[in-house]
Chain A
Amino acid sequence: MNRILAVLHKEFLQMRRDRMTLALVFMLPLVQLLLFGYAIQTEVRHISTVVFDQSLSAESRDLLQSFSASGYFDINYTAGSYDEVSRMIDSGRAKVGIIIPPDFSRSVKRGEPAQAQVIVDASDNMVANQAVAIANSIGLIKSQEILTRLKNIGGPPYDIRVRPWYNPDGITAYYMVPAILGIIVTMTMVIMTSMGIVRERERGTLEQLIVTPVKSYELMIGKILPYIALGYVQITVALLVGVIVFGVPVRGSLVELYLLTLFFITASLGVGIFISNIAKTQMQAFQMSFFFMLPSILLSGFMFPRDAMPRLIYFISNLIPLTYYLDIIRGIVLKGIGFQYLVGQVASLLVFSVVLLVMSVIKFKKKVA
């Protein structure tokens, strides 16, 4: 016990002296959240649009009005020819082109299908998907309006009402902020702890430690505990930014969030300590951390929905602690659910932590002998 305290005290002292790293620990959540919270908007609004209206009628104006009223399309340019539309889209000034043929108004009046063409710059997938979906639904809604008016019926035959739960307004920051929080924590924990033992090996202090009566588990515990504290400090900073700056609602229990976060921190530390045990130099440790971080960010469901992943990749994403933590933090913060719905995720993180830490202690012993 005293030996653990000695290691603990030493780690805290070293941490305190390392001003640069400490500053990074505080600044990372602040800067990253502010940066990504604002920058990452998967919902595309105000798409620059060019219009070539050959009909110039009340009907065409009505349709265009619907497009701009949706808030997704900003009609910035009007073109006088098809070629001009092409040029606008080629040059990137417009992402969407709406072309209304001369007989548009007449067709509407006759009750024939009135065609309008919407050209979408699909070189940007995200914008294209959204523009296509919204253009289609505007077309449907307008058609229904006209149908209802003509046939004189009370409303459309189907009336499907969609209710987006937990984030009805589709505010990106609500689900991005908790996820970024997870990424920041796992990044800091893995990188900082991966340096922990390797640094001592490089400096030659590890050899000295091995000769002292300190047991390898005592050394591990003493090295890990300060980082757990650090992880909690980071989460607190990140949550404060999320709530104050982005107005993210915390619907579930904070106590539960902090308790379940422990498992994620220990799993991340486990990865870091394990890297530290197999790497020979700090450079190697850093590269290995990086090798671990990239799939964590890309495959955990932070960037792309896991449901869309091929089977093999989906399986790999099960081996990433962040995958489970995203469920936990989004679940508690946005959905307001509790432990009873997150047992599987917590159990997975617990398995990660135990396996990695036990492997590290064993591996460390072997190095000694």
Chain B
Amino acid sequence: MEEYVVTTDKLTKVFGNFTAVDSLTMNIRRGEIYGFLGPNGAGKSTAIRMLCGILEPTSGSGRVLDYDLVREPEKIKQKIGYMSQKFSLYDDLTVRENLNFYAGLYGVNGTLRKTRVQAMVDMAGLRGRENELTANLSGGWKQRLALGCAIISKPSIIFLDEPTSGVSPTSRRLFFNIIRKLAGEGAAILVTTHFMDEAEYCDNIAFISAGRLMAVDTPDNLKRSVIEGCLVEAELPDAIDWINKIEALPYVKECSVHGPVLHVLLEHEQNIALLAEFTGAAIKRVTPSLEDVFIALARKTRSGN
């Protein structure tokens, strides 16, 4: 039997006549990193807010740690950690004061508080800077401190809403190392992100577009299942000018720019020679990246609408 900590059934949120989240059904296991991927305004944050019990769903149901989303939001709040892209820290409090404040709110007191605060300081790499004002910390440290505040009570589910926006690549990598460690200790982590390299860290990825769940699977399975056909790379000068011409070819499904090269999705492997002839460039078969998956899915959504 699978041990799900989050389950939802047709969870829906409508604002006025705009459906932000449309019949979202998903399951999250303990110890897994579950990635929410999707363009801006796809409904990722709205979904997370419903799961945290701070936004009431319009219809559908869900359970978090066996508590009902609608009826027992306060019980859910005790058991989860939440961190938003704003790194909601108090700039005019020190590192330690911020941690102590959230420890107080979550009822982490006495010696437990001392060890937890120290553990969070160490995790954030802020040892020796405990009495520094948060305003003086730079992005990466703020981000890790915000995470520390969110997980001070050792929650079994951690919701991270675009936790890595605005921090350096080094800090992002450091952050995901922490996330993986937390998952290894048994916490379920739901994280939204724009970054494909971060998505690679996830055990499962849910791709959301226009409020609907388009696909859920492991990154590897997604690459295999979503991309139907043969993905190749074409090295062409003036790649942008070629897109329309290449897309017009009958055997080409998709064409997109990836840095200096073009990624072209062909119907069959046999089309490689035809494309090489047409463009006069070297054509190389490549394994699809998550970015290709993302583009393919986004295109499907658009044509589906």
**A residues touching B (Cβ–Cβ < 8 Å)?**
2-3, 5-7, 9-10, 13-14, 17-18, 203-205, 207-215, 368-369
Nearest 3 interchain pairs by C-beta = A6-B104, A208-B88, A204-B86
Kindly state the separation between the CA atoms of A9 and B105 in the bound complex, as whole angstroms.
Answer: 11
Nearest-Cβ distance from residue A21 to partner chain B, whole angstroms: 11
Interface centre among B74, B86, B103, B105 (most CB of A within 10 A): B105
Q: Are B106 and A212 in contact (CB under 8 A)?
A: yes
Interface-centre pick from B74, B84, B104 (highest chain A CB count, 10 A)? B104
Chosen A-B contacts, 19 in total, with CB atoms closer than 8 Å, are A2-B104, A5-B104, A6-B105, A10-B93, A10-B97, A10-B101, A13-B92, A13-B93, A14-B93, A17-B92, A204-B86, A204-B88, A207-B54, A207-B84, A207-B86, A208-B88, A210-B54, A211-B77, A369-B56
A205 — which chain B residues lie within 8 A by C-beta?
88-90
Q: Name the CB-closest residue of A to B149.
A: A208
Q: Does B109 contact A (CB under 8 A)?
A: yes
Contact status B77-A9, CB under 8 Å: no
Residues of B within 8 A of A14 (CB): 90, 92-93
Q: Which residue of B lies closest to A4 (CB)?
A: B104
> Smallest distance from the beta carbon of B110 to chain A beta carbons, Å?
11
Is B88's CB under 8 angstroms from A3's CB?
no
Complex Cα distance, B149 from A205, in Å, reads 12
Shortest beta-carbon distance from B120 to chain A in Å: 15
**Is B102 on the interface with A (CB-CB < 8 A)?**
yes
**Least CB separation from A14: chain B residue:** B92
Report the bound CA distance from A281 to B288 in whole Å. 46
Q: A204-B88, A213-B74 are in contact. Are A2 and B109 (CB under 8 A)?
A: yes
In the complex, the chain A residue whose C-beta lies closest to that of B101 is A10
Instruction: Kindly list chain B residues whose C-beta atoms are within 8 Å of the C-beta of A6.
Output: 100-101, 103-105
Are B93 and A207 neighbours in the complex by a CB distance under 8 Å?
no
Chain B residues closer than 8 Å to A207, beta-carbon distance: 54, 84, 86, 88
Q: Is the CB of B82 within 8 A of A208?
A: yes
- Collect the chain B residues with CB atoms within 8 Å of residue A9's CB: 100-101, 104
Residues of A within 8 A of B80 (CB): 211
Which chain A residue has the least Cβ–Cβ distance from B55? Answer: A369
Decide yes or no whether B107 CB sits under 8 A from chain A.
yes
Task: Kindly provide the distance from the CB of A243 to the nearest chain B CB, expressed in whole angstroms.
Answer: 36
Using a Cβ–Cβ cut-off of 8 Å, how many residues does chain B contribute to the interface with A?
A: 30
- Given contact pairs A5-B104, A9-B101, a sample of 11 additional A-B residue pairs in the complex whose CB atoms are under 8 Å apart: A6-B105, A13-B92, A17-B92, A17-B93, A18-B92, A208-B82, A208-B149, A212-B105, A213-B74, A368-B54, A369-B54
> In whole angstroms, what is the CA distance A215 to B55 when docked?
15
User: Nearest Cβ in chain A — how far from B72, in angstroms?
Assistant: 12
Task: State the CA gap A18–B92 with chains docked (Å).
Answer: 8
**A214 CB contacts on chain B under 8 angstroms:** 105
Instruction: Say yes or no for B59: interface residue by CB 8 A criterion.
Output: no
Contact residues in B for A211 (Cβ distance below 8 Å): 52, 54, 77, 80, 82
CB interface residues, B 81-135, toward A, < 8 Å: 82-84, 86, 88-93, 97, 100-107, 109
Cβ-based interface call for B271 (8 A): no
Could you say which of B54, B92, B105 contacts A3, with CB atoms under 8 Å apart?
B105
How many Å from the CB of B50 to the closest CB on chain A?
A: 11
B287 beta carbon closer than 8 Å to chain A: no
Find chain B residues with CB under 8 A from A209 CB: 105
Min CB gap B133→A, angstroms: 8
Task: Kindly provide the distance from the CB of A354 to the nearest chain B CB, expressed in whole angstroms.
Answer: 24
Q: Is B78 an interface residue (CB 8 A)?
A: yes
Residues of B17-60 contacting chain A, CB below 8 A? 52, 54-56
Are A212 and B102 in touch, CB under 8 angstroms? yes
Chain A's closest residue to B103 (CB) is A6
Report the Cα distance A336→B103, complex, angstroms: 49
B77 touches which of A2, A203, A212 (Cβ 8 Å)? A212
| Nearest chain B residue, comparing its CB with the CB of A215 | B74
Contacts of B150 in A (CB 8 A): 208
Known contacts A211-B82, A212-B105, A213-B74, A10 near B90 by CB under 8 Å: yes
Q: How far is the CB of A115 from chain B (nearest CB, A)?
A: 73
Q: With a CB–CB cut-off of 8 A, which chain A residues contact B104? A: 2-3, 5-7, 9-10
Determine which residue in B74, B77, B80, B83 has the highest number of CB atoms from chain A within 10 A of its CB, and name it: B77
